[in-house]
Amino acid sequence: MTTIEEAGVRPPAAEQERPGRVVFTAGEIRHRVAELAREVEAHYPAGEPLTVLGLLKGSFIFLSDLVREMRRPLQIEFLVASSYGAAKRSSGSLAIHYDPRTDLAGRHLLLIEDIIDSGTTLSELIPRLREQAPASIEVCALLHKRLVRLDEEPRFVGFSAPAEFLVGYGLDHAGEFRHLPYIASLS
């Protein structure tokens, strides 16, 4: 019998760091997401067109849970941008890899972000979306580290987050841990 070590097989990098302390449980998230849905619904006049725009990949679980709590007409779009890669620190520049091919003009746009850290992603993205003349742009972030004062604060925030690197409920480290139903800090 050869062990993994003897065979020279190393676990992938992401497996050397593991989710540690649970910061928000699945139950806490479920409760807060339902509250957020009520806040969002109350903000938008009934009858006006709303597009919920998820920033992939991190927001995919949050968006899925949020929209299923909402009882008003809406459309769902996604946008893929990256400022992080596999590193834990924001690089400070944003590349857009995919954006909605539908007409956003005249529609209320609600951006769904997993977590706000430096705020770079949103401050670079929002002016570009404005060019498409939506009726309004608001941000709904599940987590906000509140590390920096932003020019425009998100209108809807799930939780204030500790200044730690978090994983789970959509958030990854090097592609791992997105599927966890809770949010934990990486140890």
C-beta of 34 vs 56, nearer to ligand 5GP: 56
φ, ψ for residue 115, nearest 5 deg: -150, 140
In whole angstroms, the minimum distance from the beta carbon of 114 to Mg ion comes to 5
Our finding on whether 58 is near Mg ion (CB under 5 A) is: yes
Decide if 183 contacts 29 (C-beta within 8 A): yes
Nearer to ligand 5GP, 52 or 166 (CB): 166
Residue 154, burial from CB neighbour count under 10 angstroms (0-12, 13-18, 19+): middle
What does DSSP say about strands 95-98 and 108-116: parallel, antiparallel, or unpaired?
A: unpaired
Which residue blocks in 16-80 are alpha helix, DSSP H? 26-43, 60-68
Tell which positions 48-67 bind ligand 5GP, by CB under 6 A. 58
Cβ 92 to ligand 5GP, closest distance in Å? 8
Contacts of 124 (CB under 8 A, 6+ apart): 83, 93, 94
Question: Could you give the 3-state DSSP secondary structure of residue 110?
Answer: strand
Single-letter amino acid code for the residue at 176: E
Span 149-178, contacts to ligand 5GP by CB under 6 A? 165-167, 171-173
The answer to whether 139 contacts ligand 5GP (rule: CB under 6 A) is no
For the CB of residue 182, give the shortest distance to Mg ion in the complex, in Å: 18
Q: Which stretch binds Mg ion (CB under 5 A): 34-42, 52-60, 70-78, 176-184?
A: 52-60
Which residues partner with 115 through β-bridges? 143
Q: Residue 165 binds what, of Mg ion, ligand 5GP, none (CB under 5 to 8 Å, by partner type)?
A: ligand 5GP
Whole-angstrom CA distances from 60 to 114, 115, 170, 180 are 8, 12, 6, 13
Would you call 172 a catalytic residue per the annotation?
Answer: no
Q: Does 90 bind ligand 5GP (CB under 6 A)?
A: yes
Return the number of the residue (2 or 160) whose C-beta is nearest Mg ion: 160
Catalytic residue among 65, 114, 117, 172: 117
158 binds Mg ion (CB under 5 A): no
Chain positions contacting Mg ion, by CB under 5 A = 58
Catalogue the active-site residues: 117
